[in-house]
Amino acid sequence: MTFSSRLRAASFPALFLLGFVGFAAGEERRVPGSTAELTLSYAPIVQRVAPAVVNVYAAKVVENRTPFFDDPFFRRFFGGPNSSLPREQVQRSLGSGVIIDPSGLVVTNNHVVEGASEVKVALADKREFEAELVLKDTRSDLAVMRLKGAREKFPALEFGNSDELQVGDVVLAIGDPFGVGQTVTHGIVSALARTQIGITDYQFFIQTDAAINPGNSGGALVDIHGRLIGINTAIFSRSGGSQGIGFAIPVNMVRVVVGSAKGGGTAVKRPWLGAKLQAVTPDIAEGLGLTRPIGALVGSVAPDSPAARAGLKTGDLILAVDGQTVEDPNAFDYRFATKPLGGAAQLGVLRGGREAKIPVALETAPDTRRDEMVIRTRSPFLGAKVANLSPALADELRIDATGEGVAIVDAPEGSVAANLGFKPGDLIVSVNGERIASTQDLERVTKNPKRLWRVTIQRGGQQISVVLSG
């Protein structure tokens, strides 16, 4: 069983707008009490929300390669100057988006616009605008764009509070499935805080049975008051169509990304804990005297990090953040990442069988000179993007900040590095017996082609040594 709608690489990404029935604090929830109540309509909500839901058209130019392109003999037939095969082609994708500011700011999924050279946004009234990317955040799979040449105030959605959602709340979905035009579906919130989905770094999804199909990615979740409560991201499907299991990013994460974009930032700034966390197994739970596996166990603490200065120790079990229960490390990451910078967060911790509250400063991870570069010389790392390791980069890659070496930030599909099995998060420790302390070291060592390459990397806390042919 696979998530067939993980749409990062889809040319026709799925988007849908989900909504739930929003209730004021203390307001009673009840089932319909009469036939008359069953005839009530969602039309007023849709009329209010629909103008702020847009279609997003993205196009990117990709190189058209053949399996024989690198062979000089076949190149004359498949990719030579006299070949009729186009060297480049344009890939197009369709998604949705939501206007979240009257000035023309639009939020969508990052996978809808990732790598795009051109993005257009079509409003509900059929007008089209070119859009420029303001900020993208691959960790949350969110992107913020601005409509070009806008000289008016656009209809925008107000942010709600996704923490107020409850399982069973009614939801609406508005998007453009399969490109047929704006479509509305409804359902309920099937589950909250889904953390084992594997779509983004911050896994804390709203699950719904509202019909979601390809073309819906990036749409808005709204409540019955028209407030945004999430961005639809993926579906669980065997056929590629809706089977009643969809996932959306909670609006409280969206708020963080949009706030960074409005503040003029080019990257999202989030609090840094500085500790490696692990899931609690049934055996660990039994050893800690717990009735069930819950919480995030501290495996290690980085020196001079907020966790270290707060006194957090290896073996501590984090059970809550500012009073909100933490079921596992993914839940902690979401709760902590959505806290505003400055001040402190109160961590509920179990230590030695006793509960304690530990205040941790909400500050960003320090970042040194990354010196990012793409290795272009003939070597096992050809095509990989590498950077100097820092606490900030380690936090982004979810690796130990105390590791040694140069980090692989990206290994694009089809590159030599990817084909040899190198992955983002790998640390290159040594090459041909030389220690690699910086990207300049790696660039220098890989300049001269070799018949054999002896490479040592660090992955998942373990060192791996391999010999590769040049």
Q: Tell me the catalytic residues.
A: 111, 141, 217
Length of the chain (residues): 470
The amino acid at 310: A
> Beta-carbon neighbour count of residue 38 at 10 Å?
8
Residue that has been written with the tokens 């390809």 in this structure: 214
C-beta of residue 388 within 8 angstroms of C-beta of residue 376: no
Distance between CA atoms of 317 and 356, rounded to whole angstroms?
Answer: 10
Question: Rounded CA gap, 214 and 227, in Å?
Answer: 24
In whole angstroms, give the CA distance from residue 457 to residue 426: 6
Give the separation between CA 416 and CA 298, rounded to whole angstroms: 36
| Phi, psi (degrees; rounded to nearest 5) at 326 | -110, 115
129, 120 contact by CB (below 8 A): yes
Q: What angle do CA 362, 424, 314 make, to 5 degrees?
A: 45
Q: What CA–CA distance (Å, rounded) separates 316 from 381?
A: 39
Q: What 8-state DSSP symbol labels residue 230? A: E
Cβ atoms within 10 Å of 106's Cβ, excluding its own: 28
Contact 41, 47 (CB under 8 A): no
User: Residue 364 in contact with residue 271, Cβ under 8 Å?
Assistant: yes
Torsional sign, CA 112, 389, 198, 327 = negative
Q: Which of 358, 339, 46, 359 is nearest to 173 (CA)?
A: 46
**For the chain, how long is the longest CA-to-CA vector?**
80
Residues 6+ apart with CB under 8 A from 161: 229, 251, 252
Give the 3-state secondary structure of residue 278: strand
DSSP character at residue 29:
P
Q: Where are the alpha helices (DSSP H) in 136-273?
A: 251-262
CA dist 388 and 244 (Å) reads 44
164 phi/psi in degrees, rounded to 5: -90, -5
Q: Cite the DSSP H helix spans in 328-470.
A: 329-337, 391-397, 416-419, 439-445
User: Position of tokens 């660990």?
Assistant: 284
**Residue recorded with tokens 């957090």:** 312
